[in-house]
A and B are shown apart, each in its own frame.
Chain A
Amino acid sequence: RKEVEQDPGPFNVPEGATVAFNCTYSNSASQSFFWYRQDCRKEPKLLMSVYSSGNEDGRFTAQLNRASQYISLLIRDSKLSDSATYLCVVLAGNNRKLIWGLGTSLAVNP
């Protein structure tokens, strides 16, 4: 089993749609979780940190379920500019290294 697993997609949604991405992780001792966004041929950029049961930032909501070792990202009212790859990232046990999922590709269409 991979340490961090994501559905690679691609997800194709119309503008204004709500879309959810899921991520599972294998290390039950993991304490910190992140969602990064990466545009084509650009660097990853931190979208949200998920430190407790979940948090919300505008149209974006991240949820954490420790019992199921599951993280989700919900995007409401999708914009064309949301088209990117979304990477689920888990802090390794030694608290220095990030374990990266392969990413979920999102295309928001007019």
Chain B
Amino acid sequence: DAMVIQNPRYQVTQFGKPVTLSCSQTLNHNVMYWYQQKSSQAPKLLFHYYDKDFNNEADTPDNFQSRRPNTSFCFLDIRSPGLGDAAMYLCATSRIGTSGRPVSYEQYFGPGTRLTVT
């Protein structure tokens, strides 16, 4: 089945220790998103890739970086995690504006990585 996969599902890191979260997709979607979600809050968009074009949200801290080496993979790097960065990190994909195919703006989510910072 086509899907969005995130690894690891649970990550524990120490304060200030860099961590990388990964996302892969078999949907062949051209847009990939990273969201942060804290308890009882809506998902908060950090950034997204439209093909290879990186789009950062204005309020995303510099501590958060991303890489997309190819269509299928996207990484979230947290350079120096703080206690306030403990959250669920969600990867999502969508297919937008691809030539010759129906446009779909729906986003499909992976299961998330729950990050704990000690």
Contacts and interface: CB of A to CB of B under 8 A. Distances in A.
Contacts of B105: 32, 91, 95, 98
Q: What's the dominant secondary structure at chain B's contact region?
A: strand
A1 interface: no
A25 interface: no
Interface stretch (A11-19, A40-48, A64-72, A76-84): A40-48
Interface string B54-78: 0100000000000000000000000
A102 B96 contact: no
A1 to B, nearest CB: 16
A102 B43 contact: no
B96 A43 contact: no
Contacts of A100: 42-43
A95 B96 contact: yes
B8 interface: no
Most central of B88, B96, B107 by chain A CB within 10 Å: B107
A107 to B, nearest CB: 15
Contacts of A22: none
A32 to B, nearest CB: 5
B42 to A, nearest CB: 4
Interface residues of B, number: 22
Contact of A46 (B106, B110, B114): B106
B82 interface: no
Interface string A13-38: 00000000000000000001010000
Interface of A: 32, 34, 41-46, 49, 87, 91, 95-98, 100-103
Given A46-B106, A98-B107, 19 more contacts: A41-B114, A42-B112, A43-B90, A43-B109, A43-B110, A43-B112, A96-B31, A96-B48, A96-B50, A96-B55, A97-B45, A97-B48, A98-B45, A98-B105, A100-B42, A100-B43, A102-B40, A102-B41, A102-B42
